[in-house]
Amino acid sequence: MTYKKPVQKLAGKIREITLGENLKLGGESVLPFYSFDGDTGHKPVIGMEIWDVHPENWPTTVMEELGDRVRNPVEWAKFCEEKYKPDFLCLRFVGANPDMGDRTPEECAQIAKEVAEAVTLPLVIAGCDSNEKNGKIFTKVAEALADKNFAFLSAVESNYKEVGAAVGLAYGNIVVAESSVDLNLAKQLNILLMQLGVKPEKMLMNPGCSAVGYGYEYVITTLDRIRLAALDQNDATLQLPIIMPVSFETWKVKESAASVEDVPEWGDQEERGIAMEISTSVGILAAGANAVVLRHPRSLEVVREFINSLIQ
Amino acid sequence: MALTGMDIYKLLPKKNCKECGFPTCLAFAMKLAQGGVEAEKCPYMSEDAKTRLSEATAPPMRTVRFGAGDRCYTLGGETVLFRHEKTFVNRPRFAVAFSDTMSNEEIQSKIERMNKVDYIRISEEMYVEIAALECKSGNKDTFLSLIKRVKDGCKKAVPMIITSDPEIARAAVEECRESGPILFGADEQNYEAMVNLAKQYNLLLGVTALDQEKLYDLVQKIQNLGYRELLLSTGSTALKQVFDDVVNIRRTALVSQDRTFGYPTAVFAHKLAKEKMMQLAIATLFVEKYASVIVLDDIDYSLALPLFALRQNIYTDPQRPMRVEQGLYRIGSADENSPLLVTVDFALTYFIVSGEVERSKVPAWMLIPDAGGYSVLTAWAAGKFSGKTIARAVKEFAVEEKLKTREIIIPGKVAVLKADIEDELPSWKVVVGAEEAALLPKFLRDYTGKKVS
Ligand code: SF4
């Protein structure tokens, strides 16, 4: 017998979504990195995390490289764009947390506007830990950045009407539908947003992310099932590119957060943090994510090289 | 291909004699196709029909073994491409690469780092299971001395002997046969000698060829020699091609149902990238899709923590959600006056909540009742997270004896439980906690702040 290489032809295709002016996501008609089956679409993209406040507990070498620029999100964003060349920037309003200064939506909008004017990369806007507050922040920021086609992390079940209406309908930006690690919840939220009138080309999804070791099997299985539903069963409500803020999850788990004094045998803390960030990213990229947000420039470099060596 | 009832019917004698216990041959064939009865029940089946049936019903991927004693491992035996279809059964094993051209110091320091990584994570011991020992010198004695050193230095690791020279391979196997080494490997030139050696010592035999086609041909030749304890690997040197190879070997076995590729695969991550973090990325990919032996240049905790955790996650049973054991858990240096939180026994919830409590730096206790392994809202809706179950846990884990506090913090999402719990636990006060786990650090800081002032 001679070898007959198997090929999997799938019926569906992930929708092509443009972030900002010309950063294209999705478009694949095969499982992640399955170039042997067909068209892998646009290369997965990587964004870097920027905060509106001085970060606490960030890796030492990152803080050293950023220097005083971390006091000013505009300077910080410019520096990242030039030095690390990510595909997009993720501006995260940590300072809007009630216990972190409770920054007002108007102030957030002002900062977002200044950052957007200072850089050429597309932005992804992330909120704070309160979904209620995020509804308000996103409304103001989306207004200030009207029709920029920037993505907003995220609309969840409890605020999707407010976020969807402002971000996706009124101000021409992209709504990221975030659900918690379940195919049906992801599908349901996508449908609700579409019923609200948000066009699929103004949508991305985040079906729930965690760090490796922390219920990560649910994340991978949810991604597997979403991608099979979209590609194999041609389910149009799930054919959206996926974006995941990996760094939001990986840097707070103990593998990254415990100091060498806490756990001497674990060795260098920063190495551990980078490794958790890389492994978590690669795992979800291999299961279907089209975009990840990272914190450490070293992770960016490695994940980019990884993507490039699988898609030439 | 799996046989249908009709395919099987064609193989039967069609006597309708009922001796199998079924009214007709067709009824028997239908039952056989579902796996509900043994083929032996029909005494009149021809030898040819029997072999065809047993081939058709054999699992699509073989389960193979290596190691010895309590360091014996199984690989392969997988039946699905995605873990939501059915559990992935035999987790990949990690290897650290040595060669006999390395300096003594290098060998020594690798051995030390391997021995250092040994810990328990959710009741599983984590360490590197394999030492991949490559003969690069071409000299038997040099290679044997490497084997000896690593064997004595890392007692836990099973050797994987890597050489294409059958003479050297024989000496190497004899050096460490008691530990059940993997023999890697057979190629187009040496396969007859290697198969003989593997047969003689009953070893898992690595088989390698330049690409998928050549590997396929070689496996057929080896199967014709009657050996089926195999571990496959192509000689591809680029990540993109290796991914193609590993995925398509698995698909050939499981989708095309062609057992020539029905064996586990090995990936030499250290040959695909020099740099440690890139090796980590590659290893991550292949834990998820679909390698069974993954070789790295080296190991330390920064690699082990994500890789072993990922492996544990991917190889858990998807039908049975991971549950944490019920009990009273101490977070940080909590004492009898520290705050007490209660949440469900669904592992994901427990990890997220305990992570946020740790992040808050407020020492605290977490009470985990029997909530059926569901998330907070599901458990509440199913009546598994209720005043009764919480009160039962308070008694069972002797919370009143262990702690002085009489306040219990419940998840904000189930604030409605407050009265129910206070009915069941009259001496307790129920405090409604944060709506989202991410808001817990602030909640706990405020909560303990209020207590002090
Ligand atoms: S015993 Fe065999 S021949 Fe007789 S009825 Fe059953 S299947 Fe047919």
Contact B151, B159 (CB under 8 A): yes
> Using CA positions, which residue lies closest to atom 8 of ligand 1?
B25
Measured between alpha carbons, how far is B118 from B334 in angstroms, rounded to an integer?
Answer: 27
Burial of B286 (0-12, 13-18, 19+ CB in 10 A): buried
Chain A residue with minimum CA distance to B347: A215
CA dihedral B89, B94, B100, B103 (to 10 degrees): -170
In this prediction, residues A181-191 reach a mean pLDDT of: 94
pLDDT band at residue B2 under the 50/70/90 scheme: low
Alpha carbon distance B217, B211 (integer Å):
10
Is there a single domain that holds both residue B102 and residue B200? yes
**Is residue B321 predicted with pLDDT exceeding 90?**
no
For residues B240 and B235, give the distance between their C-alpha atoms in angstroms, rounded to a whole number: 13
Lowest mean pLDDT among B7-16, B36-45, B299-308: B36-45
Q: Give mean pLDDT, residues A197-210.
A: 97
Domain that holds residue B402: 327-452
| Beta bridge partner(s), residue B66 | B73
How many residues are present in chain A? 312
Q: What is the pTM of this model?
A: 0.87
- How far, in Å, is the centroid of ligand 1 from the Cα of B6? 14
Q: Do A86 and A123 meet the contact criterion of CB atoms below 8 Å apart?
A: no
CATH number of the domain residue B35 falls in: 1.10.15.40
Mean pLDDT value of segment A121-139: 95
Q: Does B135 carry a binding-site annotation? A: no
Q: Mean of the per-residue pLDDT values for chain A?
A: 96
Round to whole Å and give the CA distance between A230 and A241: 10
Q: Whose C-alpha lies nearest to ligand 1, atom 4?
A: B17
Summarised one tens digit per residue, pLDDT across range A238-253 is 999 999 999 999 998 8
Mutate to test the pocket of ligand 1, among B8, B10, B15 (most ligand atoms within 8 A of CB): B15
The pLDDT tens digits of the residues spanning A208-244 come to 999 999 889 999 999 999 999 999 999 999 999 999 9
Predicted pLDDT of residue B451? 66
> B9 is written with which tokens?
């019917």
Q: pLDDT, tens digit, for every residue of B135-145?
A: 999 999 999 99
- Beta strands at B407-410 and B429-432: parallel, antiparallel or unpaired: parallel
CA B178 – CA B419 distance, rounded (Å): 65
* Residue B349 and residue B307 share a domain: no
d(CA A113, CA A142): 10
Ligand 1 within 6 A of CB of B359: no
* Cβ neighbours, 10 Å, residue B398: 10
Residue B347 and residue B441 in one domain:
yes
CB atoms within 10 A of CB B3: 18
Beta bridge partners of B143: none
Give bridge partners of residue A243 from the DSSP assignment.
A291
A205: pLDDT strictly greater than 70: yes
Q: What is the CB neighbour count within 10 angstroms for residue A212?
A: 35
- Give the pair of three-digit tokens for residue B283: 């290893």
Helix, strand, coil percentages in chain B from 3-state DSSP, rounded to 5: 45, 20, 35
What residue ranges in B292-368 does DSSP mark as E strands?
Answer: 293-296, 327-331, 340-342, 364-368
Mutate to test the pocket of ligand 1, among B6, B14, B18, B28 (most ligand atoms within 8 A of CB): B28
Centre of ligand 1 to C-alpha B29, Å, is 9
Structural domain contains residue B54: no
Q: What is the dihedral of CA B409, B323, B73, B214, to 10 degrees?
A: -110
How close B26 gets to chain A, by Cα (Å)? 32
Residue closest via CA to ligand 1's atom 7 equals B25
In chain A, % helix, strand, coil (3-state, to 5) comes to 45, 15, 40
Task: Say what the pLDDT of residue B1 is.
Answer: 47
> A170 is written with which tokens?
């009124």
Highest mean pLDDT among B13-22, B144-153, B377-386: B144-153
Residue A272: pLDDT band (50, 70, 90) is: very high
The mean of the pLDDT values for chain B is: 92
Three-state DSSP class for A203? Answer: strand
Q: How close is the nearest chain A Cα to the Cα of B171, in Å?
A: 35
Interface of B with A in 132-171 (CB under 8 A): none
B210 neighbors B234 (Cβ within 8 angstroms): yes
From A8, A97, A274, residue closest to B277, measured CB to CB: A274
| B397 contacts: CB under 8 Å, gap ≥ 6 | B326, B327, B328, B367
The pLDDT tens digits for B41-52 are: 888 988 888 877
What confidence tier does B324 reach under pLDDT thresholds 50, 70, 90? confident
Contact between B309 and A216 using a beta-carbon 8 Å cutoff: yes
Q: What's the CATH number of domain A16-310, 3.30.300.30, 1.10.357.10, 2.40.320.10, 3.20.20.20?
A: 3.20.20.20
On whether both B223 and B254 belong to a single domain, the answer is yes
| Co-location of B300 and B248 in the same domain | yes
Count, residues in chain B: 453
Cis peptide leading into residue B185 (ω within 30°): yes
Q: CA–CA separation, B68 vs B385, rounded Å?
A: 46
Residues 6+ apart with CB under 8 A from B85: none
User: What CATH code is carried by the domain that includes residue B299?
Assistant: 3.20.20.20
Partners of residue B357 in chain A, C-beta under 8 Å: none
- According to the model, what pLDDT value does residue B33 have? 79
> Which residue in chain A is spatially nearest to B252 when comparing CA positions?
A6
Indicate if B38 and B69 belong to the same structural domain.
no
Answer yes or no: are the C-beta atoms of A114 and A147 closer than 8 Å: no
Give the Cα separation of A115 and A94 in Å (integer): 15
* Residue B57, in any domain of the structure: no
pLDDT range class, residue A84, cuts 50, 70, 90: very high
Q: Are residues B23 and B106 in the same domain?
A: no
How is residue B434 written in tokens?
Answer: 């944060």
Span of A137-151, B285-299, B334-348 with lowest mean pLDDT: B334-348
Between A155 and B348, the more confident residue is A155
Q: How far is CA B249 from CA B74, B169, B187, in A?
A: 18, 26, 17
Q: Which two tokens stand for residue B175?
A: 């050096």
Q: What is the pLDDT of residue B54?
A: 73
Mark whether B13 and B99 lie in a shared domain.
no
Domain membership of residue B125 (yes or no) is yes
Q: What is the CA radius of gyration of chain B?
A: 28
For the domain that residue B422 is a member of, what is the CATH number?
3.40.50.11600
DSSP A242: B
Report which secondary-structure segment, H or E, holds B444.
helix B440-452
Q: What is the pLDDT of residue B450?
A: 76
Residue B63 assigned to a binding site: no
B152 plus B39 within the same structural domain: no
Rg (CA), chain A: 19
Kindly state the average pLDDT of the residues A126-145.
96
Interatomic CA distance for residues B342 and B414, integer angstroms: 11
B194 and B255 share one domain:
yes
Structure tokens at B153: 């230095």
Any idea which of B12-16, B45-49, B281-285 has the lowest mean pLDDT?
Answer: B45-49
Residues 6+ apart with CB under 8 A from B160: B95, B130, B131, B132, B133, B181, B182, B184, B206, B293, B295
At B370 the three-state DSSP class reads coil
Average pLDDT over residues B59-70: 94
* Residue B25 marked as a ligand binder: yes
Q: Domain tally for chain B?
A: 3
Does residue A103 have a pLDDT over 80? yes
Asked if residue B85 and residue B27 are part of one domain, the reply reads no
Nearest to B185 by CA among B235, B223, B242, B245: B235
